[in-house]
Chains A and B, each alone.
Chain A
Amino acid sequence: MFLIIAGCTQVGALLVKKFVDTGHNVVVIDRDKGNFDYLETGCNCLMIHGMPIDEDVLKEAGIERADALIAVTAEDNMNIMISQIAKHLYHVPHVMMQANHPERQAVLSAKGLHMICPIALTADHFYTSLLQKENSI
């Protein structure tokens, strides 16, 4: 699979590693060069330094032939814009994004965006874990 990851954040770098290690073709974009330090040295992926909402940067990354795009920059609105460009302008088959603000999930999943909200996931996880423990006592 050819995959673009927008945002070389800690999550982004972890995703790059997972996909590269399992033999996938990965391009990672970040507007801050320093963030590429999160990658392991010698990581077998292409790094692009640029603004990930800039169509020229996305084209350079190969958005026209990408099988998937995951937007995990630190900014929700940036992720929302990248995902919509990928989905509605370039028809990338699989688009996913991270939303840090739980309330955005309800509003923007209505736009057909596949969102993952770490805060909501964590809270759910604690909640169900605790209830399971309580039930098993």
Chain B
Amino acid sequence: MRIMIIGGGNVGFYLSKTLIASKHKIMIIEENPTHCERLVSNLDSKWVEVFLGDGTEVNCLRDAGIHHADVLIAVTGYDQNNLVACQLAKDYFGVKKTIARVKNPKNIRVFEKLGVDSVISSTESIANVINQELEWNDVNKLIREHSSSLRLREVQVRQAPWLIHHPLKDLGIPKGIIIIAILRRAQAIIPSGETILQEEDKIILWGEEQLISDFLHILSAN
């Protein structure tokens, strides 16, 4: 695919690096000459073209070859610039898909209403992770009221690949800890000793707090 990226700061730079690895052709427009130099000297010119200019201007987009782009991704640090870049790409140049980064998560709704196809907010992603964590804390608070030392914990199987391929009964899970559920895609599975974990699973552990932290320590050490 040919991808036009507006904004060559940190987000644009690492995004390009990642996309090159999947063999996409990248065009980047960046208005700061120092950032442009970094892009040119650190990215393979076979895959990346760098343009100095304002990616919210029609002439600049045209010169950079927006007519060849299948997708436009706007990742400058300013929400208003990302909106205008996406709208120009879509309405004026007919680019099929537009993706924008927003700094203020409230702008997700605004951008979607104003025609941007996908809107991403790192602030919101982080907030979601924290909220999930908080929900666990609420559950644990409830448990603590009834028993001082029992806890629930969630573990990503991906973090401990040696858990995969063997039935649970052979994993040497210490006494005092049980796996009460496996979260696989959108399903919750109640496991038996014969259940085999998969890489994308999350497991929910129930047991003594000390035993669980020792076990997690062993998991990460392996």
* Chain A residues in 8 Å Cβ range of B81: 77
In the complex, whether A15 has a CB less than 8 A from a CB of chain B is no
Q: Is there an interface contact between A88 and B113, defined as CB atoms closer than 8 Å?
A: yes
In the complex, whether B98 has a CB less than 8 A from a CB of chain A is no
* Chain A residues in 8 Å Cβ range of B80: 53, 75, 77-78, 80-81
Out of B88, B106, B114, name the residue touching A88 (CB < 8 Å). Answer: B114
Taking CB atoms and an 8 Å cut-off, the chain B residues in 95-148 that contact chain A are: 104, 106-107, 110, 113-114
Segment at the A interface, from B45-53, B56-64, B178-186, B211-219:
B56-64
Q: With the chains together, A133 CA to B191 CA distance in Å?
A: 91
Out of B58, B59, B83, B91, name the residue touching A81 (CB < 8 Å). Answer: B83
Q: Is there an interface contact between B83 and A77, defined as CB atoms closer than 8 Å?
A: yes
* Chain A residues in 8 Å Cβ range of B88: 107
Out of B57, B91, B106, B110, name the residue touching A101 (CB < 8 Å). Answer: B57
* Chain B residues in 8 Å Cβ range of A53: 79-80, 104, 107
A90 to chain B, nearest CB (A): 11
Q: Is there an interface contact between A80 and B84, defined as CB atoms closer than 8 Å?
A: yes
Q: With the chains together, A51 CA to B80 CA distance in Å?
A: 11
Please report the number of residue pairs spanning A and B whose Cβ atoms sit closer than 8 angstroms.
46
In the complex, whether A131 has a CB less than 8 A from a CB of chain B is no
In the complex, whether A134 has a CB less than 8 A from a CB of chain B is no
Q: Is there an interface contact between B58 and A107, defined as CB atoms closer than 8 Å?
A: yes
Q: With the chains together, A80 CA to B78 CA distance in Å?
A: 13
* Chain B residues in 8 Å Cβ range of A101: 57
In the complex, whether A20 has a CB less than 8 A from a CB of chain B is no
Q: With the chains together, A80 CA to B57 CA distance in Å?
A: 13
In the complex, whether A56 has a CB less than 8 A from a CB of chain B is yes
Q: Is there an interface contact between B113 and A81, defined as CB atoms closer than 8 Å?
A: no
Taking CB atoms and an 8 Å cut-off, the chain B residues in 51-95 that contact chain A are: 56-59, 78-81, 83-84, 87-88, 91-92
Q: Is there an interface contact between A85 and B57, defined as CB atoms closer than 8 Å?
A: no
Asked, given contacts A101-B57, A103-B59, whether A85 binds B110 with beta carbons under 8 Å apart, the answer is: yes
In the complex, whether A32 has a CB less than 8 A from a CB of chain B is no
Chain B residue at minimal CB-CB distance from A87:
B114
Chain B residue at minimal CB-CB distance from A73:
B80
Known contacts A76-B84, A77-B56; 19 further A-B pairs (Cβ under 8 A): A51-B104, A53-B79, A53-B80, A53-B104, A55-B106, A75-B80, A76-B56, A77-B78, A77-B83, A78-B80, A80-B84, A81-B79, A81-B80, A81-B110, A89-B110, A89-B113, A101-B57, A103-B58, A107-B88
- Pick the 6 closest A-B CB pairs, nearest first: A77-B80, A81-B80, A77-B84, A78-B80, A77-B81, A81-B83
Provide a sorted-by-A list of 30 A–B residue pairs whose CB atoms are within 8 angstroms: A51-B104, A53-B79, A53-B80, A53-B107, A54-B104, A55-B110, A56-B106, A75-B80, A76-B56, A76-B84, A77-B56, A77-B80, A77-B81, A77-B83, A77-B84, A78-B80, A80-B80, A80-B84, A81-B83, A81-B84, A84-B83, A84-B114, A88-B114, A89-B110, A89-B113, A101-B57, A107-B58, A107-B88, A111-B87, A111-B91
